[in-house]
Amino acid sequence: MTDAATGPAPQPPAPQPPGASAGIPWLGLVAVLLGTFISTLNGRLSTFGLADIRGALHAGFDEGAWITSSQTIAQMLIAPVAIWVGGIYGPRRVLFGAAAAFAVVSFVIPFSTNPPMMLGLQFASGISSGFFVPLTLSFILRSTPPRLWAYGVAIYALNLELSLNISASLEGWYVEHLSWRWIFWQNVPLALGMVACLQLGIARTPPLPGRPPPDVFGFASLGLGLALIYAALDQGNRLDWLNSGLVWGLLLSGGLLTLAFLAHEGRTAHPAFDLKVAFAAPLPRLLLLVGFLRLTILSTAILIPQYLGGVRGYRALEVGGTLIWIAVPQLIICPLAALMLRRTDPRLVSSVGFLFIAMACLSVAHSLTPSWGSEEFLRSQLLQAVGQSFALSGILFFSVLHLRPQDAMTFGAAVQIARLMGGEIGSAFITTFTRVRSQTASNLIGLHVRSGDGMVVQRLQAYAAATGRATDPATAAGRAAGVLGGVVRGMATTQGVIDAFVAIAFFTALALLLVVAHKPAPIGPASHLPLFAPQPQAGPTS
């Protein structure tokens, strides 16, 4: 009987074209997965180390806000180009050049002397690393047997989860024991290791003969349109959203360019992006779920650090000690998720994941108080770790089962766009929602903190007694008022975080309904393809 995860038996591999060289498949897989790991890790580290980087460059808040954005904007810009270049020249040649360039840029970035120089190098870093993720899934689908796809997808999910949640620990350790420069220098050995694995693991193939001309307008309009929309989402919370002319300009120009791209692609003979693949059912819904999963991941990547840093005053290294409980269990959860994908319906795997995420969010929302520390998050973090890995692996594998191998690169680019855009929409939503709910809670709490109220006076006297030793009464009273204000801010922030966890649990429940209501995936890859056509039967089947 045909395994639902493996599909029909593949034909023997086609003979290599002239000029091709053999590679070691598992090293090739390590190479492309290293690329995914590096891409996510680098962007996340820049976020956690932003204060140290701004201080070293003497950059203001507004200038520093673009340091992280510039890299991800460049990744969004280059994603459409990665499809064409990878398809024409092959993943080995493209990834080799991109990894080498990324290593050089990462080494040079810490020598930046001013914010404009840092922004330019960060943009170059994003251009080079922007090739990594779109070519990763395509390599897994085109260079490994279908029976191993579940393991490749699970490892891909492991990379995203691991790199996202160990960043705080690494950044904190670098700042405490070495220097903020290692936030970038740690990419150099990783990128060079990727180059070595590419050299040994991926076969050298000549460029595709008779390659179609590049769709320059398609590349430019889609890349620029998405990059401008991303920039608006990334800076919207800082600039007060639609009250800012810059945000309006970015959204309108990005939207017009995206519409121009769609109109152009329907008429050109050599489209830059195969819209039939991207919009064919059920991929739009599944890509929406991939983007949504970035929102659920941010419940730990943003909310917990915001609470621990803002309410408890934890440093990055201490915050990392909490998030590490999502990262480390992935090493065990990853093979378990792959095994379940091979033997059960991927909808069941992703449904279990979404259910666990909702349970973890609700458990935090029900119990969180301003006195919580790292240890109190442990149970929910372990549940969240299982849920995120299962949900992401299940959705990606369910999508893969609807694909044809020649559509792998288009799908890889679509996943990259959904991942980046979903993450940014989620980040913008979570940040803005938490800020608004915290302000609302602060106003409501403030209604009960009135000058002259007996309980307020009693609390101020207690604070003054605790902080006013060896000082005059006026100074003690001022310190007491400051302490009371800090208590109110801590309670308001805690309430904002609680409300955000409830919102994420609600959206997770909606995603669970979408998964459950979806019809089953086809049995393996599309059987009409020559590459995956069933083998002729030797005799009549029983």
Whole-angstrom distance between the N-terminal and C-terminal Cα of the chain? 11
Which residue shows structure tokens 């308001």? 492
To the nearest 10°, the Cα dihedral for 349, 151, 100, 405?
-90
Residues 6+ apart with CB under 8 A from 458: none
Please count the helices (runs of H) and the strands (runs of E) in the chain.
22, 0
| pLDDT for residue 44 | 66
Beta strands (DSSP E) in 450-518 are none
Token duo for residue 27: 């090293």
Contacts 24+ apart (CB under 8 A), 49-53: 49/171, 49/174, 49/175, 49/180, 49/183, 49/316, 52/175, 52/180, 52/183, 53/118, 53/180, 53/183
Cα separation values, 161 from 102, 294, 409, 458, Å: 22, 10, 22, 48
Nearest Cα residue to 158 out of 34, 72, 42, 322: 34
| Domains, in order of start, for the chain | 19-214 (1.20.1250.20), 274-448+474-524 (1.20.1250.20)
Q: Cα–Cα distance between 264 and 258 in angstroms, integer? A: 10
Q: What is the phi/psi pair of residue 14, to 5°?
A: -70, 150
The neighbour count for residue 320, using CB atoms within 10 Å, is 23
Q: DSSP code of 12?
A: P
Nearest Cα residue to 353 out of 369, 371, 334: 334
| pLDDT for residue 81 | 85
Quick check: pTM over 0.85?
no
Q: Cα–Cα distance between 210 and 222 in angstroms, integer? A: 25
Residues 6+ apart with CB under 8 A from 246: 232, 235, 239
To the nearest 10°, the Cα dihedral for 228, 230, 231, 235?
150
Q: Cα–Cα distance between 540 and 15 in angstroms, integer? A: 30
| pLDDT for residue 172 | 73
| pLDDT for residue 380 | 83
Q: Cα–Cα distance between 516 and 32 in angstroms, integer? A: 32
| pLDDT for residue 491 | 84
Residues 6+ apart with CB under 8 A from 265: 215, 218, 271, 272, 273, 275
- Is residue 102 a contact partner of residue 125, using CB atoms and an 8 Å limit? yes
H/E segment holding residue 330: helix 330-343
Tell how far CA 381 is from the center of its chain.
Answer: 18
Q: What is the phi/psi pair of residue 264, to 5°?
A: -70, -40
Nearest Cα residue to 53 out of 41, 40, 39, 68: 68
| pLDDT for residue 21 | 46
Q: Cα–Cα distance between 415 and 377 in angstroms, integer? A: 30
| pLDDT for residue 371 | 82
| pLDDT for residue 382 | 82
Helix axes 115-129, 61-89, angle to 10 degrees: 30
| pLDDT for residue 103 | 92
Spell out the SS3 assignment of 339-378. HHHHHCCHHHHHHHHHHHHHHHHHHHHHHCCCCCCCHHHH
The neighbour count for residue 111, using CB atoms within 10 Å, is 11
Residues 6+ apart with CB under 8 A from 498: 364, 365, 368
| pLDDT for residue 251 | 92
The string of pLDDT tens digits covering residues 274-295 is: 777 777 777 787 778 887 777 7
Let me know if 456 is exposed, middle or buried by CB neighbors in 10 A (0-12, 13-18, 19+): middle
| pLDDT for residue 453 | 59
For the chain, list residues with pLDDT below 50: 1-22, 525-542
